[in-house]
Amino acid sequence: MLINTKALVLKSVPFKESDLIVTLFTERLGKTTVLVKGAKKMKSRLSHSIQVFTIGHYTFYKKNNNLPILRQGDVVLAHKNPSLNFGILSASYYVCEFINFFMPENEPNPKFFNLAAKTMHLLTSRSKEALLILAGFKIKSMALMGYAPCLTECVLCGQSKDDYIFSISQGGLVCDGCLPHKNKFITKRQRFLMLLLLRTTFEEILKADIQEKEIKQMNIIFNKYIQYYSDGHIFKSEQVFQKI
Ligand SMILES: [Zn+2]
């Protein structure tokens, strides 16, 4: 069976002498691995389309339970020189590593694919805002997987109060009445920014006036949040990012 789908290239590993096994996050089938025959040969016509971080239209042949074989790949989006910009490189790597970790094989998730594709497009066109785009990706992707934090009222009693802490284990805001001994409140501004990233489009987010310090704070909170819901998994790319 021939399958046509848009996809993001997540990673590739060598296989036999000249082949590659490429992991794609496809729009139609979810995460899928495909075999690319002769990919390591200099003249492979598929070589451009299977670079990591590339988005393209792909056609592969799938028969029974065999590894699908890639037949065609047409590039839609490619980073021109990601290695020249360490910020984009790390952010793109994070998106791919995140999808590879959380997405199960062969379970389509078009909404998540759209978020991933949008994020990769923005990282290419708005590279200076890589850290803000990445923060938006983190909170939106957690929400799409059913882990949206509650940011409008206390997650335990449901009441609206003036002061809250952000409880990662409870999944959002907790008022001082419910946790009287842990009084490290988050500010109204932090609540507003987290809601902005969760609920509005990237276009709106990128128009907002947000300081670099605030973006870093959100990334730290979201990293802890993601780590909690991934059973303590630490993304390699995130460690690299923090060193920039
Ligand atoms: Zn409460």
166-220 confidence digits (pLDDT tens) = 999 999 999 988 987 766 788 999 999 999 999 999 999 999 999 999 999 999 9
CATH number of 82-244: 1.20.1440.120
CA of 157 to the centre of ligand 1 (A): 4
CA of 153 to the centre of ligand 1 (A): 8
Give the pLDDT confidence score for residue 130 in this predicted structure. Answer: 92
Q: Is residue 8 classed exposed, middle or buried when 0-12, 13-18 and 19+ CB atoms within 10 A define those classes?
A: buried
Of residues 222 and 65, the one with the higher pLDDT is 222
Of residues 38 and 238, the one with the higher pLDDT is 38
CA of 177 to the centre of ligand 1 (A): 5
Domain boundaries, the chain: 1-78, 82-244
Question: Would the CATH topology of 1-78 be identical to that of 82-244?
Answer: no
Across 31-40, 65-74, 81-90, 164-173, least confident range:
81-90
Kindly state the DSSP code that residue 172 receives in the 8-state scheme.
E
CA of 216 to the centre of ligand 1 (A): 27
CA of 151 to the centre of ligand 1 (A): 12
Give the pLDDT confidence score for residue 31 in this predicted structure. Answer: 97
Residues 6+ apart with CB under 8 A from 116: 8, 25, 95, 99, 137
> Residue 244: pLDDT above 60?
no
CA of 169 to the centre of ligand 1 (A): 14
CA of 107 to the centre of ligand 1 (A): 37
Mean pLDDT of the chain: 91
- Whether residue 154 contacts residue 161, with contact meaning beta carbons closer than 8 Å, is answered with yes
> Residue 121: pLDDT above 80?
yes
Taking the C-alpha atoms of residue 177 and residue 180, their distance in angstroms, rounded to an integer, is: 5
CA of 182 to the centre of ligand 1 (A): 12
> Residue 59: pLDDT above 80?
yes
Between strands 55-61 and 19-26, the pairing is unpaired
CA of 155 to the centre of ligand 1 (A): 7
Q: Which CATH number fits domain 1-78: 3.40.50.1860, 2.40.110.10, 2.60.40.10, 2.40.50.140?
A: 2.40.50.140
Give the pLDDT confidence score for residue 28 in this predicted structure. Answer: 96
Give the pLDDT confidence score for residue 83 in this predicted structure. Answer: 60
Across 99-108, 172-181, 219-228, least confident range:
172-181
Of residues 131 and 86, the one with the higher pLDDT is 131
Taking the C-alpha atoms of residue 164 and residue 70, their distance in angstroms, rounded to an integer, is: 51
> Residue 85: pLDDT above 60?
yes
